[in-house]
Structure 1
Amino acid sequence: MPRDDGYWFPAKRYGWGWGPPANWQGWSVVAAFAVLIAVGAALILPHSRAEFLGYVVVLCVLLTGVCWWKGEPPRWRWGGD
């Protein structure tokens, strides 16, 4: 099956999940994720590690949601695709 170039996050060749972003939209999502983690570390972490951990979990769930929405459909791959 040919790949759709509209995916922001292509599937990994081996295993389950997504690889590095394929275009600028995907890279901007990853950059925003990194910036939000850094901002949270600067603002939340000095006050409460538990709150920072919750913040990171929420950001990871949101990143996974964006990957699921704008990435190739996930399935287990063995490298032949």
Structure 2
Amino acid sequence: MTEQKKYWFPAKRYGWGWGFPSCWQGWVVQAIYMAVVLALALSRYYEQNPLMFVVWVSIASLILTAICWLKGEPPRWRWGKDRQ
């Protein structure tokens, strides 16, 4: 019996990339990402050093993208329902 791999982030139906998380692990990753970005915004760090704010948000986004790449459905261009 073959066991199907459980993806944390399913592929979007239209376009390229991933959609909303499909399991609790994905939701935890998404919540941590949003908490980090919100904490940076509420700290008003962007007023003191806008470049470093962009750098930290970019780092957080790259980490999220890496997790989606590793734990998500393989990305490819999609346009609606797959024909098989």
- TM bracket (short chain): 0.7 to 0.9
Q: Tell me, in whole angstroms, the C-alpha distance in 1 between the residues paired with 2:24 and 2:5.
A: 12
Q: Tell me, in whole angstroms, the C-alpha distance in 2 between the residues paired with 1:73 and 1:36.
A: 26
Q: Tell me, in whole angstroms, the C-alpha distance in 1 between the residues paired with 2:34 and 2:76.
A: 26
RMSD: 1.4
TM-score (norm 1): 0.87
Q: Tell me, in whole angstroms, the C-alpha distance in 1 between the residues paired with 2:78 and 2:71.
A: 18
Instruction: Look up the match of 2:66.
Output: 65
Residue identity over aligned pairs, in percent, reads 49
Q: Please, which runs of 5 or more residues in structure 1 have no aligned partner?
A: none
Q: Tell me, in whole angstroms, the C-alpha distance in 2 between the residues paired with 1:64 and 1:19.
A: 12
Instruction: Look up the match of 2:26.
Output: 26
- SS of 1:57's equivalent? helix
Count of aligned residue pairs for this structure pair: 78
Instruction: Look up the match of 1:38.
Output: 38
Q: How far apart are 1:46 and its partner, in Å?
A: 3.7
Q: How far apart are 1:44 and its partner, in Å?
A: 2.6
Q: Tell me, in whole angstroms, the C-alpha distance in 1 between the residues paired with 2:9 and 2:76.
A: 13
- Answer with 1 or 2: which has the greater Rg: 2
